[in-house]
Amino acid sequence: MIVLITDGTPTACSRADGTIRTIYEGSCSNSSCSGCTNGPPLVAAETLADQAAADGISVVPVIVSSVSRDIAQLESLARCPSNSNSNCNVDDYKNLNVSDIDEIGELLASLVKVTGCE
């Protein structure tokens, strides 16, 4: 399982030469960023979440709502393993957000129970 703790939507993507581009550069946005190997930031994040699921890994976004303006976009990164025979329900990985980083411990304890990893 990958627990993705984030306070904002994707803002960066990787170039083929190993450098990073961000949406704060003039010609790069969340929906278009030339030269990024996995596409613009949101597409790149979704591609990596899909790869994790294909490798049998759950992706669980935990959102600290201090910066993000689009919680639904971040929740869309939740994944269950693609070829899992378990009773994984991706909806169990949504609504995992807190307003303060100090609340993360309690939320993660709840997550452990939901995933059956106690």
Q: Using CA atoms, how far apart are residues 52 and 46, in angstroms rounded to an integer?
A: 10
pLDDT of residue 77: 92
pLDDT of residue 116: 60
Alpha helices (H) along the chain? 41-54, 71-75, 104-115
CA distances from 6 to 3, 26, 63, 64, 104 (A): 9, 24, 5, 6, 11
- DSSP helix, strand, coil percent of the chain (3-state; round to 5): 30, 20, 45
Q: Which residue has the tokens 């304890």?
A: 109
Each residue's pLDDT, cut to its tens digit, for the chain (118 residues) gives 898 888 788 888 888 888 888 888 777 887 788 888 888 888 888 999 999 999 999 898 888 876 656 888 888 899 999 887 777 888 888 888 888 788 888 888 877 776 665 4
pLDDT of residue 32: 84
pLDDT of residue 67: 64
Q: Using CA atoms, how far apart are residues 66 and 7, in angstroms rounded to an integer?
A: 6
